[in-house]
Amino acid sequence: MPTIEPSGNTKVLVSGANGYIAMWVVRTLLEKGFTVRGAVRSAEKGKRLREYFQPYGDKVEWVVVEDITKDGAYDEAVKDVDAIEHMASPVTPPTGDPDDYIKPAVHGTVGILKSAHKFGNRVKRIVVTSSVAAIQGHMIKGSTVTFDESHWGDEAVEIVKVEGAKAPEMTKYRASKTLAERAAWDFHKQYQTKIQWDLVALNPPFVFGPSLQELKVPADLNLSMDVAYQNLCIDQPDDVLQSTHNYISVQDIAIAHVAALSNKAAGGQRIIISEGATTWQETRNLAASLRPDLYASGVLPRGNPNLPKDLQFIYNNEKGKKIFGFKYKTLEEILIELLADFEERGWLAKKD
Residue 132 has pLDDT above 70, yes or no: yes
pLDDT for position 138: 86
Sign of the four-CA dihedral 247, 252, 258, 262: negative
96 Rama class: left (phi>0) / alpha (psi -120 to 50) / beta: left
pLDDT for position 2: 77
First to last CA, the chain: 59
- CA–CA separation, 40 and 23 (whole Å): 11
- pLDDT tens per residue, range 320-342: 999 999 999 999 999 999 999 99
Confidence of residue 297 (pLDDT cuts 50, 70, 90): very high
- pLDDT tens per residue, range 232-276: 999 999 999 999 999 999 999 999 999 999 999 999 999 999 999
How confident is the model over 143-169, as a mean pLDDT? 95
Residue 125's closest CA among 78, 89, 88, 90?
78
Residue 1 has pLDDT above 80, yes or no: no
Q: Count the Cβ atoms, other than its own, within 10 Å of residue 54.
A: 9
- CA–CA separation, 181 and 202 (whole Å): 10
72 Rama class: left (phi>0) / alpha (psi -120 to 50) / beta: left
Per DSSP, the residues of 83-102 read EEEE-----PPP-S-THHHH
- CA–CA separation, 67 and 40 (whole Å): 10
CATH of 11-344, one of 3.40.190.10, 3.40.50.720, 3.40.50.300, 3.90.1300.10: 3.40.50.720
Confidence of residue 351 (pLDDT cuts 50, 70, 90): low
| Domain segments of the chain as ranges | 11-344
pTM, two decimal places: 0.95
List the beta bridge partners of residue 314. 146
Outline where the chain has alpha helix (H): 20-31, 43-52, 99-119, 154-163, 169-191, 223-233, 238-241, 250-262, 280-290, 292-296, 318-324, 331-344
Q: Count the Cβ atoms, other than its own, within 10 Å of residue 166.
A: 10
Sign of the four-CA dihedral 190, 191, 196, 201: negative
